[in-house]
């Protein structure tokens, strides 16, 4: 009888040890997962604070690996940032998809390089025109990708048509007035209170794009204006 009892007790001990080991491992996994979530949320909050123009619905992803590991080593290989309600100068509800490479944390946060793709919808363009010229009614905004222009139906009943063309110069994009017609006839744009310079940066807006970004392309597509920006090494002290 002793041998069967000994075997039973040994089996029970092994089962108890296994149960305790599994419980410890599960607790460790849960704790690590909670810490990972906390770190990712912390990084997202800091990015939102450093770049309030990205809006309230900004999402930040740590590409690959572990955010907990990256934070412990004060180095993040890549941050992916996305927002659908960013504000850039006069433009609101702008879609932004950005990538920050080689982010080094410390007293001053440094970024090895940055790339961003910005999409300004026709609705955002219409809102920007209304903001720039409040006295002018804007019925609708469409695009003509073949000609690379933005067309706004303006005035009572949308009887006038304002043509805008994106201009890329010195790493910045502005919308220049290409013409204004009323009943098919060309009329001076000063009747709308718009100067020859078109829709430049809003008064009081920063003269430079953040993170040293510079526009490299501006393309008119069916859904609006698409702008690509690239930046080299820069600092982001608030992150």
The average pLDDT across 230-234 equals 89
Per the listing, tokens 């810490």 go with 35
| Residues 51, 155: Cα–Cα separation, whole Å | 36
Nearest alpha-carbon partner for 175 in 128, 140, 137: 128
- Three-state SS for 113-125 is EEEEEEEEEHHHH
| Residues 92, 235: Cα–Cα separation, whole Å | 25
What mean pLDDT is reported for the chain? 75
The average pLDDT across 203-221 equals 77
Report the pLDDT value the prediction gives residue 20, as an integer from 0 to 100. Answer: 46
Output b/e per residue, 178-204; b: 16+ Cβ within 10 A.
bebeeeeeeeebeebebeeebbbeeee
pLDDT for residue 59 is more than 70: yes
Most confident of 51-55, 59-63, 92-96: 92-96
Whole-model pTM: value is 0.74
Instruction: Give, in degrees to the nearest 5, the angle at Cα 7 between 5 and 9.
Output: 70
Would you mind telling me the total number of residues written for the chain in this entry? 239
Most confident of 30-39, 51-60, 105-114: 105-114
158-187 pLDDT, tens digit each? 788 999 999 999 998 888 888 888 877 887
> What residue spans of 100-174 are helical by DSSP H?
122-132
Per the listing, tokens 């890549």 go with 78
Report the pLDDT value the prediction gives residue 188, as an integer from 0 to 100. Answer: 77
pLDDT band at 123 (very low <50, low <70, confident <90, very high): very high
Higher local confidence (pLDDT), 93 or 198: 93
Higher local confidence (pLDDT), 41 or 159: 159
Report the pLDDT value the prediction gives residue 27, as an integer from 0 to 100. Answer: 37
Q: How remote is the C-alpha of 190 from its chain's centroid? A: 35
| Residues 23, 45: Cα–Cα separation, whole Å | 33
Whether the CB-CB separation of 163 and 140 falls below 8 Å is answered with: no
Higher local confidence (pLDDT), 5 or 225: 225
The first and second tokens of residue 188, run together, are: 């001076």
Cα radius of gyration rounded to whole Å, the chain: 28
The average pLDDT across 34-57 equals 65
Sorted by sequence, the CB contacts under 8 Å of residue 171 that are 6+ apart come out as 209, 213, 214, 215, 216
pLDDT band at 22 (very low <50, low <70, confident <90, very high): very low
């Amino acid at each position: 009888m002793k041998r069967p009892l000994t075997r039973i007790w040994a089996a029970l001990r092994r089962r108890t040890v296994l149960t305790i080991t599994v419980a410890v491992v599960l607790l460790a996994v849960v704790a690590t997962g909670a810490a990972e979530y906390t770190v990712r949320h912390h990084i997202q909050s800091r990015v939102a604070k450093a770049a309030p123009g990205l809006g309230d619905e900004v999402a930040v992803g740590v590409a690959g690996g572990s955010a907990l590991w990256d934070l412990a080593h004060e180095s993040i290989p890549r941050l992916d940032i996305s927002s659908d309600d960013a504000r850039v100068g006069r433009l609101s509800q702008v879609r932004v998809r950005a990538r920050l490479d080689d982010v080094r944390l410390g007293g001053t946060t440094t970024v090895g390089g940055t790339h961003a793709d910005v999409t300004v919808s026709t609705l955002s363009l219409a809102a920007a025109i209304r903001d720039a010229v409040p006295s002018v009614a804007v019925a609708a905004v469409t695009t003509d990708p073949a000609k690379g222009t933005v067309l706004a139906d303006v005035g009572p009943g949308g009887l006038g048509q304002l043509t805008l063309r994106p201009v890329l110069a010195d790493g910045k994009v502005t919308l220049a007035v290409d013409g204004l017609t009323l009943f098919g006839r060309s009329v001076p744009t000063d009747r709308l209170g718009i100067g020859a310079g078109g829709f430049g940066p809003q008064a009081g807006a920063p003269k430079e794009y953040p993170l040293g970004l510079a526009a490299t392309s501006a393309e008119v597509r069916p859904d609006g204006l698409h702008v690509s920006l690239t930046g080299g090494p820069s600092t982001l002290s608030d992150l």
